[in-house]
Amino acid sequence: MLYPIGTKTRTVMDLNGLWNFKLGEHHPSDLLSTKEVMVVPTSFNDVVVDKEKRQYIGDFWYERFFEVPTLSDTEELVVRFGSVTHHAKVYINGELIGEHKGGFTPFECVIPESLYSDETNLKISVCANNELNYSTLPVGNYIEEEQEDGTNKKVVKENFDFFNYAGIHRPVKLIIRPKIHIEDIVITTELNDTLTTADIKATVVTSSPIDAIEMTIIDEDRQVVERLTDGQATIHNPRLWEVLDAYLYNLHVEIIKDGQVVDSYDEKFGIRTVKVENGQFLINNKPFYFKGFGKHEDTFINGRGLNEAANLMDLNLLKEIGANSFRTSHYPYSEEMMRLADRMGVVVIDEVAAVGLFQNFNASLDLKPTDRGTWQVMETHEAHEQAIRELVKRDKNHPCVVMWVVANEPASHEEGAHEYFEPFVKLYKELDPQDRPVTLVNMLISTPENDKVMDLVDVISLNRYYGWYVDHGDLAKGAKGLKDELEKWQELYPEKPILMTEYGADTLPGLHSMWDIPYTEEFQVDYYDMHHRIFDEIPNLVGEQVWNFADFETNLMIIRVQGNHKGLFSRNRQPKQVVREFKKRWTNIPNYNYKTK
Classified as helix, coil or strand, 528 is: helix
| Smallest gap from residue 313 Cβ to ligand GCB (A) | 21
Work out how close the CB of 208 gets to ligand GCB at its nearest, in angstroms, rounded to a whole number: 44
- Residue 253 C-alpha from the chain's centroid: 27
Amino acid at 549: F
Q: In angstroms, what is the minimal distance from the CB of 497 to ligand GCB?
A: 20
The verdict on 408 binding ligand GCB (CB under 6 A) reads yes
- Kindly tell me which of 264 and 463 has the beta carbon lying closer to ligand GCB: 463
**What whole-number distance in Å separates Cα of residue 202 and Cα of residue 269?**
11
3-state helix, strand, coil in the chain (%, to 5): 20, 35, 45
Which C-beta is closer to ligand GCB: that of 257 or that of 560?
Answer: 560
For 367-411, the DSSP string reads: -------HHHH---HHHHHHHHHHHHHHHTT-TTEEEEEEEES--
Nearest to 64 by CA among 146, 129, 121: 121
Applying CB under 6 A, does 158 fall inside the site for ligand GCB? no
User: Contacting ligand GCB (CB under 6 A), which of 350, 351, 409, 451?
Assistant: 409
Supply the minimum distance, in Å, between the C-beta of residue 506 and ligand GCB.
7
Strands 290-294, 325-327: pairing is parallel
325-327 and 347-351 as β-strands: parallel, antiparallel, unpaired?
parallel
Q: Which of 267, 409, 544, 553 is catalytic?
A: 409
What CA–CA distances, in Å, run from 74 to 122, 143, 204, 262? Answer: 20, 49, 20, 9
Q: Is residue 502 at the binding interface for ligand GCB, with CB under 6 A as the rule?
A: yes
The backbone torsions φ and ψ at residue 45, rounded to the nearest 5 degrees and listed phi first, read -60, -50
Which parts of 67-106 interact with ligand GCB (CB under 6 A)? none
Residues 443-472 that bind ligand GCB (CB under 6 A): 443, 463
| Cβ atoms of residues 462 and 451 within 8 Å | no
Output the residue with the shortest Cβ distance to ligand GCB. Answer: 161
Backbone angles phi and psi of 475, in degrees to 5:
-75, -25
> How far apart are CB 330 and ligand GCB at their closest, in Å?
6
Residue 307 or 408 having the CB closest to ligand GCB: 408
**Residue 409 appears among annotated catalytic residues:** yes
Least distance in angstroms from the C-beta of 183 to ligand GCB: 35
Ramachandran assignment for 363, one of left (phi > 0), alpha (psi -120 to 50 degrees), beta (any other) = alpha
Is 502 marked active-site? yes
472-476 — which CB contacts under 8 Å span 24+ positions?
472/518, 473/516, 473/517, 473/518, 473/523, 475/516, 475/526, 475/527, 475/530
What is the DSSP secondary structure assignment for residue 533, as one 8-state letter? Answer: H
∠ CA(409), CA(410), CA(415), 5° rounding?
A: 140
| 485 forms part of the interface with ligand GCB (CB under 6 A) | no
CB of 406 to ligand GCB, least distance (A): 14
Question: Which lies closer to ligand GCB via its Cβ, residue 374 or residue 591?
Answer: 374
Give least dist CB 269 to ligand GCB, A: 31
Q: How would you class 469 by CB atoms within 10 Å of its CB: exposed for 0-12, middle for 13-18, buried for 19 or more?
A: middle
**Binding-site size, ligand GCB (CB under 6 A):** 10
Q: Which of residues 530-589 bind ligand GCB (CB under 6 A)?
A: 547, 564, 566
**Active-site residue, selected from the candidate residues 75, 335, 414, 502:** 502
Q: Is the dihedral of CA 300, 296, 141, 83 positive or negative?
A: positive
Between residue 302 and residue 361, which ones bind ligand GCB under the rule CB under 6 A?
Answer: 330
Least distance CB 112 / ligand GCB (angstroms)? 42
Comparing CB distances to ligand GCB, the nearer of 314 and 409 is: 409
Nearer to ligand GCB, 249 or 331 (CB): 331
Coil vs helix vs strand at 324: coil
Task: Tell me, residue by residue from 15 to 44, as one string, x for binding to ligand GCB by CB under 6 A and - for no binding.
Answer: ------------------------------
For ligand GCB, the closer of residues 109 and 525 by Cβ is 525
By beta-carbon proximity to ligand GCB, the closer residue of 342 and 553 is: 553
CB closer to ligand GCB out of 443 and 475: 443
Selected binder of ligand GCB within 46, 75, 158, 161 (CB under 6 A): 161
Phi first, then psi: give them for residue 364, nearest 5 degrees: -165, 170
Site residues (vs ligand GCB, CB under 6 A): 161, 330, 408-409, 443, 463, 502, 547, 564, 566
- Point out the residues that are catalytic: 409, 502
